[in-house]
Structure formats: structure tokens, C-alpha cells
Structure 1
């Protein structure tokens, strides 16, 4: 064996990457350090400038205060009985004072704050406020005050021979102090005003005083648009004008209040040029190093790449099953030392030998596997595996032959009933007949598969136009309109079909099947025996429904349901006849969820029966409480879903509640929709008779919106007819609604039943209903649905004697 040499030196590209990362990192750190040093230097300079400004401010204050003290002694104010002479001296020497000390205004105030002498009659409010403070504290005072411009204010209390105190106040411009500050720090100086929000644009800074108007105005005009006032105060503003670079720094000017700052403009062009030169040097050095190392790596790994490319060129021979040719062409001898590539070459030769042996075995097994698990044993149709294979192949074909692929998802309606009642053998016979009818309906180029259970899938290619898929679906539905003979009996079995279409080869087969499945369930919800095409809203509705079903399960466990009660009033007298119990859902995040949002989902779920029995118990408790309070003839209406009404345990449960609470059934009125009543007439009549024997009343809810039939009304022991609120809402504007209401009232009275109008919301509706002798009404005009507390207030305040005043 030749000595083994490691390969790391052949992959120096990693070193280049490491050097590049290190170079970028070091350069970044160097730039950051330079920025930090510059910022620290600026902070030190700002601190020194702050000290210089405070020093100049103190000098100006001492100068003015010393002059005032000297002038007071010269005027011999302590030996004067009043301040008239001192005021005259101030007026006489004001021009001299203004010339030598740059004093702009001079005032003399007596102990009551009245002006004794003023160079200007207008006295700022801040001056008067401060005079009162000096008169109180009898201490000199000074500050910088900014309004239209910034001035230095100095105040000194003086005392005459009588012990009376007056205050001398003067203001002087800050221009000399700014000039001295500029000479001291070497920067241009300005006073700026900042109003309002600190997050607004720094361009809105207001310049008040400038040491160099032309330079400062041009520099401030170059402030970036996106720079904010807050950034300017915290970090300063770098400005570039041509080859010149400036930095604007800000120092607070006044201690009381906000908004006035000293702006110091420094020329940092030298630093910027040094920084740019350093950056260029670093980039040039990194680029040169990278190029040199890249050249070294390229030439050192050239042979390595040649050998790898040679191996790559010959590897496809293995896929082409040319194993011997691969071993001959891929062989290569090492130059001096053996390395990893030689190990790879020997392993590739060994692999080709083993693949050659394996290929012979695979070819034999593949022929057997192609015939396994691709067809359904019962119907003879391709199964789900064949469906996936052919659907993926059809979608892939769209790359070369653009078009559309359609999927029909078919489910037999009520298959479970036949399977349960007639036996599994009859169910199998039904599936075989269904498969035959589907095969008979489609074209030879289409594929029909059994997806599982009573579900079938049809893959339709060459869908030009889409009407072809629609016609095939309609043909299948037509086939299922014919009866099927099972166990010498004829059964009419319909099918619900959902369709999805794809025109993109990127579409996933599972997604296309899932979309057709969703469309099929939509067809079932619409009435079964129908065909529906998929749209995105179906998926959203299904997702929302599943989410709502999940939350409803939690709502039951967490006791989030509650009942509210809407009063029912006898229209002729105003007597409170009873209430309708309405379900409400207190969702932890949505708040109170309306019944329209969840009742439909709840009624079609297994939780409806459980919620219904909870409602019964809650209603019995409420009626028991009302009877205890003296409402002995009160009646409570309870809505029943179809699932709850047809539950065999319903009479047993209600009988148990009647015994437990010792309440007769005539306190309760069970509301049923017309759809529930006609769903199974015989079973409905049986259940109604059992509950009637317990004393319960029955009402038809939302009368006129469903499957109304006078023959059903004659058969069923119904006591009350409730007119749907949609007719009441429109009866004053819509003559058709009006006619429906008055004819319904007349018909119900002829049948000697009671009529209740829902949705009474105004006095006009009430008057019309009373005119036509409607028995009872409920709606917002009388009261909204009431919780326990509101119900108690309603009984005490609105119907204390059992009657509601109707106006």
C-alpha cells in the first residue's frame, strides 16, 4: 500500500472563506472602533463646550450684576427716601449702559411690581413672574429666556433709606457670548428652537441666532429628510456638502423648559477623508489577499477537479446499467501518493459490481410488484395507489401538453343505512353496481377508482372545455337516478359529487383530491344528489366549521353557555304571558357569540343533545323561580333541534324533570321548525303524542319560511304558530309580507290555534298586529333578550303587576 496522504490541502477553499470572513470581521471591528473613538472624542468636546458656555454665561451674569451693584452705590440708593432719583439715574444712563454692556431692556419695579422706570413699556410675562420671586426671596436672580429670541436676564433687589425694596431687571443679547464661544471652541454656533414632537423631521428646526449666517444656513439646509429631532439631539447630525463634511451637535440652552438648544457645527472633513482612505486600503488589501489565495488554491486543486469531473462524467453509466464500461473508463492510477479520491474510485468499482448483481434481482421483482396492490378486489376498479400514480402522471403531463385535469369525488348518499339494515353483502353488491354505473358513464380515456368505503374518484384528462367534466358528472348522477335491486327490493341511492380542476403541473395530487372531497361535502350540505365545483370559499367555510366545532366542545366543558329570556306579551291586554329561552355563548376571546353564528353547527353536531338537556334543566329552574315569585301561569318556550326532538330518551328526561321540580308540563312550550316536523312524519307524531301526554305545548317556529302544509297542521297536535320576524319587519313597506301576515293570522284563528308574531320592533307594527287580532307578540319593542339580572329588573320595574303598558 502506498502511504496515505490527507486531503485538507486540496480543499483550501475553506481557508479562503475563513480568511474572507475574518477580513470582513476585522475590518468591521476597525470601522466600529474608529466610529466609537470619534464619538467619544465628540462627547468630550461637547462636555468641554458645555463647561465653556456655562463659564461665559457666569461671566456675563457677574459682569451685569457687578455693574448694577456699582451703579446702585454710585446712585447712593441707600440714603434716598424713595426710588425716584434712582429711576432717573437709570433712565439718564441707559444709552451708555446699552452701548457698553449690550443691554437691550432695563426695568425698575417697586415692591408691588409696578414699573418705576422702563426702557420699553412691554414687559414679558416671564419677567414679571420672576420679579415676584426676587421680591419674595430678596436674592439676585439670572436666567436665559427664549421667546422670539434668547436673552440673558439679570435681576437685583435694591433697598432705599426707608427699607423699601425694588428690583432692577435688565436683559442683554447673547451674541457676544456666542461670539466668544465660537472663538473658544473653533465651531460655528447657532441657537435653534425645537417645537412639538421629537420624532418629527430635523429639517423643521428653527434657526434663531447664527454666528455665520451663510455657512450655517447652507449646512442646516443639507439635513437629511429622514433625520428626526430625537436622533439629532442624541447622536448629532452628519452633513455632507460636496467634499466637505460637517457634524451638528446640540447642547441644551436653558434649564427651565424645553425647546432651545445651542447648535455647534464642526468641520469633520479631515476625519471623513481619513476614514475613507482607511476603508479603501482595507478593501484593497482584502481583495489582493483573496485573489492571491484563490490563484494558489485553483492551481493546487486543478488535478483534483479533473479527477472528480472524470468520475462525474462516467457515473451516468451506472444509471444506464453499463457497469463494465463504467469500471473501465472511471479507473485512474495515483501519481505518487494515494488519497481519498483513490479510495472513492475503488469504492465506486465495488459499487458497480454490487449494483450489477442487484439490478438482475430487481428486474425480476419489479415485474411482480407491478401487479400487486393496484386494483380493488371487490369492484375491479383501480384502487387508491393506482389513482395517485395516474393522477400524478396526468399532472406531470401538463408540463409538455398544457391543458386541464379534473377530479370528480363521488360519495353514495345513505350508504350506511343500507349497509346496516340490509347487511354487508347487500352493501358490497351496491358498491359493485355503483362501480359499474360509474364505468358506464365515463369515457375510455378517463380513470375511475374506488377511493375507499363508499367513495369513488374519477380522473378526467383532456378537459377541453370544462363542460366535458360537468357533463360526465351529470351523466353519473343520471345513472344513479335509476333504482338498484338489493335482496329483491328496489332502493333509490343518490350520489353527491364534488369536482376540482387543475391547470398547473405544480398542483399536488393530494390537494386536488382534497379539494374535490370538500366540494362533495358542500354538495351533501346543499341537499345531496347534487354536483358542486370547488372554490376557495368552501375550504374557508370548512376550516371555520371545524374550528367552531372544536370550540363548541370546549364551551360545553367550560360552561360557557348561558340562557337569556325574551318576554312574550298578550297584545290585547299587555299581560306578560311568558318568555322564550334563547341560547347564548360567552366566548373567552370573541365575547358574546350570536346564535346565528353557532346554532347551525351545534345542531348538526353530537353536542346538541347534551346542550339541549342542559337547557331543559336550566329552563325548569327558571320557571320554578318565577312560579315561586307569584307568576303561576307563566309559560316558557324552548327551541328543539331535529336531533334533540327525535332522541328516544327525550320523553324520559322531560318526565324526570317534571317529577323533580314538581312542575306541570303546561308551563313549557316546545318550539319546532317546519323542517323538523316533516322530516319523519310517523316518528314526529309518535314523539309529539308522548310529550303531549306530559302536558307540554307545541309551537311551529318561523312559520312560512319552510315546508308549511295544512295537512300536517291538521295531523299534528300543534298549539301555537309563530310568524317569522322577516315578515313582520317588512309588512309596513311590502304589501306581500302584509298579506301573508293577515292571512296567516286568519288561518290560524280558523284552526283555533294561537298565533305569536316575532320581531315586533315599533309601535306601527304593534298597532297593525292588534288590529288584526294577533294573540301574542315578542320583539325589541317590548324588551330585548334578558339575562338573569335584567330579567329581575324587568319583572320589578316593567311588569310589577304582570302587565306591560303598551303605548
Structure 2
């Protein structure tokens, strides 16, 4: 049996995939949003550090600018008096050093000549600041790093809105670093150092070295921080976004702030922010999001499983129930449905409706099955039995013949098939109608059934044909006894509704003791023998022999040639004159059928008429002869032979045909002949076959004016 997967599991799997996809999408978006928030927080910290640096740097520089401006007014230094200005600054050296840590001071006159220097030489990059100060007439600040980094401020000394001198001061960055450190520590645990970057070294701790005064403990911590920065973290990354590192189990954000006095000096302020608590909160948030999504998926799956499991159970029960319908176990199907699907009305769902529909289907199938059983029995009866007589039909007989033939090899006996045909039965139908014909067939079946033994079988093949299967024959002569008894049963006439019918039978017999004989071949042989028996003109039987086949073939060929001859007008009428002996006067003609064959010439009537007598072709020839004979009679009358009669032979089939009288009347009217000149000849056999019917037809013919004559009287055909 092929393995199957439950529909509920398929639906559950699909829903699980959908929910997992949606949850993954939502969780991913939430995690992405949290990561963006984390990045934004880092950017906020970085921006805040830069802002504070510039704010404090500006504050310290403006403090010096204000002091210089105030010093000019306090000492009332006249314009252009550089010497007094220099003396003033010389007297303030100790104050500047102690108060604001001014380590270097330079005074430049309006000719941009150094007129006073306290401390180191004036660096070249500071000269550029001096030029800008003279040009822009405003303080210019920057950072100069050589061995150590110092903050430089170039302040213009303006008298009457003209720059007369420029004072340049350099201060240590320690105060700035202290202010920044105090400000950052107030917001979070942070450290700030001045570092210098070098291009050598394999690790970040080798590439960066601390360039500010720190404690030994702080220096070790900063070395650990620098060692935790991966080589892949470039200066640009540290400047623009910062980088997170883990040191001693805590998370830190590292950012660099370049001191842009000289682009190539490689000095930076390194901010170290402790973000461990924030990272833990971020991880906790991510865990909540992740496990919340997983919990949501599991909750949904559980709910769907509980819901679909009930549907799956119902579908499984229904799937197991449906084969019961194919097995026609309808009651068991209804019982299982009632046990599995009965629920309260307000709880009904589509599967309950499906169960009810299945019950309705079972009721209809049960009804159809019962009706089919009845119809099958009827069809079997129709297929195997004749509806008119109740006897077995051709199918049943064929089946029994095959069965008996198969048993012949186990028996030392033979079997015979008797093919029986009612003689002149067509006349009964034509003259009295099919109702009387059916009654004759039923009576014939009853008479035949009285003769046969219980183990023999009689069947009606249709029309007036019956077949009897006789088995267990020790010798073929036993069939003669059966055939004689059958013929004897029809000696007595049949009486139906005050009508008397003289019916005889013709029997063809086929005998075999060979089990290899085929049923169809045996029936064909019996049928052929029956037609041979009919040539005896009733109440006779014939055994099949091989010569009959040749005769049948010849008869079929002759019938086909006769049809062609009728179409090609090979037939013609020979007129045999009738002379009155006393006066030797011509009184009429007898129309005789002749055949002028294109190859064989004139074919004698005795060669083709007996063979065509019991065929359908004979009826066509009979009416053709009548038509041509009356046409000749009309032509004779037109030529002056008005009192000459025309004798026309009637066959038994034509005499019994109900179309005879209407056709005769039509020909008389068409050719305008005198009916008294038409003489219809029939044999005595035709008259005695059904005397009452014969008398009735003769009276109707005579009423038309036609004459009746008995043909072949005294020549061996008449009964004397």
C-alpha cells in the first residue's frame, strides 16, 4: 500500500512555513531596527564627543582672547607701541603659566616679524595661522603636535580696528582633556587619552601609542583596549562609526577624534565609552524578540494542530468508511457515520455536512444497487431467454452447446442439434397479422417442449425458428425418433381465436461426437440441413452432409446472379398460347418466366426456379412477372386482341402476401385492362395450406373480375 501523508500535516506544514516566514520577517525587522538604534546611539555618542571637544576647545581659546583684549585696555597701550606690549606680556608670563598653563608665547608685529618669544621656536604651521589672523582679523585656533600636542591660539591685537600685532600662545591639552573626561564621565563611564598612530606594527596596540600623561593602571587598561581593536578596523571606521570591543568581559565603544592641525601628524583623541549595560539590555531585547517569535510560532502550531487533528480524524474515518460503499456494506457505513459524525447542531462544520452527504450518497447507492440487481436479473433473462415464449434464446443455446461440446471428450456419446422452422409461417403474419403469428409461435414452442427430454434443451432463435439440443446419444439413429415425434406433434392443426392454422415443420439435423466441433459451425450445419428439408415442402427432416454446402454456395451465387439479371433485364416472359380444342381458336397466353444469361444462354426454369423458391429474391420476381404480364395484356388489347386472357402463376409466398390485392388493383388501373382477361394460377398445395385464408383471398380476387385456375393439376404436385 502506498504511503500517504495526512492532509492536516500538510496544511500544518504549510501554515508553519508561512508563520515561520512571517515571524522571521517580523523578528528580522525588529532586530534590524534594534541594530539601527544601537548604531544611532553609537553615532550620538560620537557626535557628542566631537561637539564637546569643540565646545571646550573654543571656550579655552576664547578665554585667552578675552584676556588679551582686556590686557590692552587695562594697560592703555598706545597704537604701534610694540615694546610696551611686549613688556606687558613679559610681566604676565608667570600668571599665564600658572593660571592657564601657557607654555609658549610669541608676539609678531604688523610686519609679521617675531618681536618676542617665550619658550620654543615658532613652528612653521603656526606662521600660517598668524598669516590668517592678520588677513581675517580674528582669533585662529588649532593644535600643534611635535613631541607632545599643544593647543595654539593666534590672537590679533587691534587698535582702532586695525591689527597692529598678533599674540600666539600655546597651552597644554591636559586642561582640555580634563574637561572632556569630566564631562563624559558625568554621562557614562568613559576614558579619554591622546594617542598617536604609526604605520608599523602588526596589532593596533603596536600602531597606536599613548601620547598623554595617564596613570599606570589607566595605561594598562588603554593597552588592553588598543589590543582588542582588530586589524580590520581602519582609522576611517574608528573616526566615522567607532568600533565595539570586549575587554575583561565588558563591552566598550572606541572612537577617534583627529587633531586636524596637520593632516599627517597622526595624533588623535581616543574616547573609550563603557557600553556594557546597554549591550546587555540590547541582547536581552533581542532575546525577548527572538523567543517571543518562537513562542508565537509554537503557540500557533499547537492551536493549528489541535484544530486540524479533529478534521484529520474525521477525514481518516470517512476515508476508511467509503470503501464500505464499494463493498455494498451500506448499513455498516451508516452505523460508523452515526458514531463518528453525530454532534450538536450548533457545532456542525463542513466535515459534518460532508458526512451527511456521504449518508445520502449511500442511500442512493443502496437504492441503485437494489434496482441494478433487479435490472440485472431482467437483463440476464432478456439476454438468455426469449420474451415471447419464455424459452432460452440464441445466447443461452450457444452457451449450452459449448458446454456440452466441452464435455464430449469425457463421454462416449454424441449430441445432435435440430434446427426447426415453421413452414409457411410468413403467410400467417401476412394474412392474419403479427398477433396471430405470435400466438402460433407460442403454441409451437409448447408442442416442441412436450417432446424433448428433461436433459435436452429447446430455444427460440427468433421469428419461427427453434433449435433443440439433444445430448447423450449412443447412435445417430436415435435422432430419427426425436424428429418423427416432433413432426407428429404438428399433424393436428392449431386453433387460435376461432381460426384454424395448418402448420408443419422442417427440421435440419447436425450430429457430432467430436469435442473440437465449434458451436457456430454446428448451428450453421443444422440451418443448412433445415433449408434442404424445406425443399420437401414441409413435415420432413434432413441430416447435414458436405454436399449441402456446395448446394448452398450455388444457391447464394444463383440468387446474386438473379438480382443482377433483374437489374440488367436478363429475364423475359415467354407467352405459351392456349388453344380451344373444339374451335382451335386462340383464347389466351400463359406468361412463363425465362432467363437469358449473358454467358450461359437460356437457363432452363427447372435450374433456377426451385433454388430461388424459398429466397427473398423470389418475391421480387413474382411481382415483376405480374407487372410485365399485365403490361403485355394491355399491349395485346391495343393491337386488337381484346378477348385474349393472360394466365399468371402465383407462388405460395406471393399468394400469402397481403400486398398482392392492392398491387393487382394498381396494375389493372394503370394499364387499363379488363380484369376478366387476367387468370391467376396457383397450386393445390397453396390452397390446402390454409384453406380458410385461401377461400377469402380467392373471393377477393374474383370480386375484382379476375379468374382463378389450379395449376399443375395431375402432374404430381396436386394431392389426389
**The TM-score by the shorter chain falls in which range?**
0.3 to 0.5
**Larger C-alpha radius of gyration, 1 or 2?**
2
Q: TM-score, normalised on structure 1?
A: 0.35
